Structure 1
Amino acid sequence: MYHSVGDSSDDPYRITVTPDRLERQLSWLRRRGLRGVSVAELLAARARGEGRDLVGLTFDDGYADFVTNALPVLESRDCTATLFVLPGRLGGDNAWDPLGPRKPLLSAEGIRQAADAGVEIGSHGLTHVDLTLADDSRLQAETAESRLLLEELTGCTVTGFCYPYGTVDRRAVDAVRAAGYGYACAIDPGAPSGPYTLPRVHVGQNDHAVRLFLKYRLHRLRRRPVEGLR
């Protein structure tokens, strides 16, 4: 789970990795015989009983630096990814983060550029709100409306959703499923997990080879149960 790729000197939420650090992290994967792909590609391979050499890479929020900084690194390492974007904030910034620098988000053209490069485009909701706190109308807009807008923007079917802040409960899961998504990404949702609560490991600037290995091995021990899914 990545977010922004750029200058990490002012990064209170630890959401930024530099292009050089991303390159080293992807090189570490490649040396281990692994290749970064979109979540859709990973799930399709696993459904066929394949894909043990694949790792799903995700980039949340749709920062403009994805196209300028992340995409060239991914392409240089023969990797792709899933980019979760906010169609209600096209060309805006990360106004939901009260601390730290304002980071510009991709415009419609930037999202199309990423899609044309083979990146899977998924929804991160319309505006980056906590779905567990949203009323019924907002929940519908954040899930179903965001999917329709992205399909219109890209001309591609949107099958992936990512819960803002990683917060998820039964109501949010049901809304995502009803909106027609095929899967949804959380962070550490605990057991049971399934296609609508896929766990992910956060990757940051300080994650070198040893930390990446330990995060992968220890992540399942940190997962928290999702309310209403037991």
Structure 2
Amino acid sequence: MYHSVSDHGDDPFNITVSAARLARQLAWLRGRGLRGVSMRDLLAARAQGQERGLVGLTFDDGYADFVTTALPVLRHWECGATVFVVAGRLGGHNDWEMSGPRKRLLAADDIRRLVALGVEVASHGLTHCDLTRVPDDVLRAEVHGSRILLAELTGLEIRGFCYPYGRFDARVGAAVHHAGYRYACAVDPGPGDAGDLALPRIHIGEADTGVRLEVKRRLARARGRAVEAP
């Protein structure tokens, strides 16, 4: 689980990884016979029993630096990724953060370019609000409305959803299911019956060297959050 990729030093929420650090992290993956792919491709491979050696790479919030900074590094290491975009704020900024640096978000043309390059674009809602705290009509707009908007923009089925702040409950999970998503990403594992609508992820930050990545990888396996097939 990545967010922004830039050399911005002001990072109070630990969401920024430098291009140099991302390159070293991807080199670490490739050196262990692992390859980063989109969630779409990871789940398709799993359906065929071919997920061994694949790691889903996700970038939350849809920061514009994905195109300028992250994408060249990913392509160098022959990795794919899924970008979860805040569909109601395209071309805007991360205004949901009350403090911290303002960062520009991907615009509609950026989204079309990514799709043309084979990057999976998926939904992170309309406004990046805590879905567990909104009324039903807002929840439907955030979940269902964002899917329609992105489908119209890309011309593709939007398969994935990412819960803002990683927060969800039974009501939110049901809304994601009824909206037609194939999968949804959280942070921690969800209820046992949540399945692909609560896929856990490992947060990756600037401090994650190879040693830390190995520790996180082993802990993920022990806690049922493995990053690749056992």
Coarse TM-score class (shorter-chain normalised): over 0.9
SS of 2:196's equivalent in the other structure is: coil
What's the counterpart of residue 216 of structure 1? Answer: 217
Residue by residue over 1:145-196, the C-alpha shift from the partner in whole angstroms, topping out at 9 and shown as x without a partner, is 1000001001111000000000010111100010010000000135525100
What's the counterpart of residue 72 of structure 1? Answer: 72
Residue by residue over 1:5-45, the C-alpha shift from the partner in whole angstroms, topping out at 9 and shown as x without a partner, is 00241000000000010011001000101110000110111
1:198 maps to amino acid: L
1:103 maps to amino acid: K
TM-score (structure 1 length as normaliser)? 0.94
Identity %: 61
What's the counterpart of residue 205 of structure 1? Answer: 206
What's the counterpart of residue 227 of structure 2? Answer: none
Determine if contact 1:188/1:219 at 8 Å carries over to the other structure: no
Deviation at 1:96, TM superposition (A): 1.1
What's the counterpart of residue 174 of structure 1? Answer: 174
What's the counterpart of residue 160 of structure 1? Answer: 160
Cα 1:220/1:127, change in 2 over 3 Å: farther
2-structure distance, mates of 1:138, 1:189: 25
Deviation at 1:48, TM superposition (A): 1.0
Q: Extract unaligned runs of 5+ from structure 2.
A: 225-230
2-structure distance, mates of 1:11, 1:204: 10
Deviation at 1:219, TM superposition (A): 3.4
Moved over 3 A (4+): 219-223
Q: Which moved more, 1:188-197 or 1:59-68?
A: 188-197
2-structure distance, mates of 1:217, 1:170: 29
RMSD: 1.3
After superposition, where does 1:138-149 map in structure 2 within 5 Å? 138-149=138-149
2:91 maps to amino acid: G
Determine if contact 2:190/2:199 at 8 Å carries over to the other structure: no
1:171 maps to amino acid: R
2-structure distance, mates of 1:136, 1:190: 21
After superposition, where does 1:1-230 map in structure 2 within 5 Å? 1-192=1-192, 193-219=194-220
Q: Extract unaligned runs of 5+ from structure 1.
A: 224-230
Residue by residue over 1:207-229, the C-alpha shift from the partner in whole angstroms, topping out at 9 and shown as x without a partner, is 01110111122236678xxxxxx
Determine if contact 1:2/1:60 at 8 Å carries over to the other structure: yes
Cα 1:54/1:222, change in 2 over 3 Å: closer
Determine if contact 1:131/1:164 at 8 Å carries over to the other structure: yes
SS of 1:195's equivalent in the other structure is: helix
